[in-house]
Every structure is written in C-alpha cells, then in structure tokens.
Amino acid sequence: MSTPDERLAALGIDLPEPPAPAAAYQPFALGGGLIYTAGQLPLVGGRLPVRGRLGADLDTAAGAEQARAAAVNVLAVARKAAGDLASVRVVKLTVFVNSTPEFGEQHLVANGASELLGEVLGEDGVHARSAVGVAALPMNAPVEVEAILEAR
C-alpha cells in the first residue's frame, strides 16, 4: 500500500510551502483534534494563474482544475499542521465558487478538489462537502477551498 507522499510523487505533485496569509489570519487552527484550514486559493508559485468567474470567464473544466490547485494548497497546510499527511483524514470540505447567478455546476467544479484528496489520501480523503456559489472571492480568484481535517 502506498503512502500519501508516494501518491503525490506518482501524480507529479510537489507540495509547496503553505501560501502566506494575505490578511490578518493564520493558515490553520487546531482544536479538539481537528485542523481547520483557512480558505486556500489556487495559488501556484505564489500567484493566481487564472482569475475570473465561472459562467463568464471560465468553464466548468477550468474551474475544476483551479479547485484541484487549491486542494494542493490545502494538503500543504495539512502537512504543515500535522507534520505528515499519513496522519490526517478529511472530514469536511467547503468549496466556494466565484460564479455568475446563472452558473449551476458548482458541485462539478468542487469535484476537482474532492477527487485530488481521494487520489492522495485514499479512504482518508473521502469527506462531506459543500459547494457554494458566491458573487466574488479575494483577488478575483475563481475558487477557494477550506477543509476540516482530523489529526490522528
């Protein structure tokens, strides 16, 4: 059986250092055996490669790709908080989708994050989830992903 780090390597993903907070908050908080991550944007190399709203500037597939990138940052924060991805389980994921009022595929965009967590963490990546359409996100990001994880 492979480890989360081996699965990341097989996917060609090298976890970055967790993104620095862009305002007055910390990347995670610990409480009651849980790790609460701050919302993670799809930053790559410290910048947003894509900006805009789903249903206007991006399609569902592009949004799912951005959700996957944000989930990489969730994993980076989780590893920093727990010390090792093998000791975490995703309990709940919330995916905020910057979208037009007519866009109705937030759940499909969110699959980009959910599927990556399952690929990397296996059964420990299976979670409850909310996918929420919002009118705007910081820096005009297309998605933001936050997680509640169990630290074991």
- 19 has pLDDT over 90: no
pLDDT band at 22; cut points 50, 70, 90: confident
Q: Is the pTM of this model over 0.95?
A: yes
- Give the pLDDT confidence score for residue 55 in this predicted structure: 98
**Percentage of residues of the chain with pLDDT beyond 90:** 95
Q: How far is the C-alpha of 48 from the C-alpha of 108, rounded, in Å?
A: 21
Neighbours of 79 (CB within 10 A): 20
pLDDT at 100: 98
pLDDT (tens digit per residue) in 81-112: 999 999 999 999 999 999 999 999 999 999 99
Compute how many other C-beta atoms are within 10 angstroms of the C-beta atom of residue 102: 8
- Where does residue 139 fall: left (phi above 0), alpha (psi -120 to 50 degrees), or beta otherwise? left
Rg (CA), the chain: 14
pLDDT score for 136? 98
pLDDT of residue 20: 85
Task: Kindly state the tokens that stand for 116.
Answer: 């990556």
Spell out the alpha helix ranges (H) of the chain. 4-10, 60-82, 106-121
Domains of the chain: 4-12+30-151 (3.30.1330.40)
